[in-house]
Amino acid sequence: MKRTLTVSDIAHELIDDEYNNFSYHGAYALAEWLDENMEEEAEFCPVETRCEYCQYKSLEAFAEEYSCTIGDKISTFAAEDQREDAIREFIHDNGILIEFDGGIIVSSF
């Protein structure tokens, strides 16, 4: 049996997963991204999605957690706008970045 999920269905499945790390707005941002970028007939698993994507409060919060991975790539930028651009570039080079009002979602790399 196949079931076609809407963006709202996907977001609610993510939110209903008791082990998720997504806020309400984060779940909807990820659901919209998945809806736009998934294959026509892809299988959706909230557990796999939870394991593949992680939400952060900001680009800086991501950089703090991954400081050993990012290293000197961003630390040389003094101006915050340049630093955020460097963090964005690092994420885009290594995975997926979804920005939304209230945070970011990054794919595992």
Say if 2 falls within a structural domain. Answer: no
Q: How many CB atoms lie within 10 A of CB 51?
A: 11
Say if 13 falls within a structural domain. Answer: yes
HEC profile of 11-41: HHHHHHCCCCCCCHHHHHHHHHHHHHHCCCC
Q: What is the pLDDT of residues 2-46, one digit of tens each?
A: 778 889 999 999 999 999 889 999 999 999 999 999 877 788 899
Q: What is the pLDDT of residues 70-87, one digit of tens each?
A: 665 665 555 666 888 889
Say if 48 falls within a structural domain. Answer: yes
Q: What is the pLDDT of residues 48-67, one digit of tens each?
A: 999 999 999 999 899 888 77
Q: Of 64, 59, 61, which is closest to residue 91 (Cα–Cα)?
A: 59
Beta bridge partners of residue 105, listed in sequence order: 55, 98
Say if 102 falls within a structural domain. Answer: yes
Say if 1 falls within a structural domain. Answer: no
Residue 95 lies in domain: 7-107
Q: How many domains does the chain have?
A: 1
Average pLDDT estimate for 100-105: 96
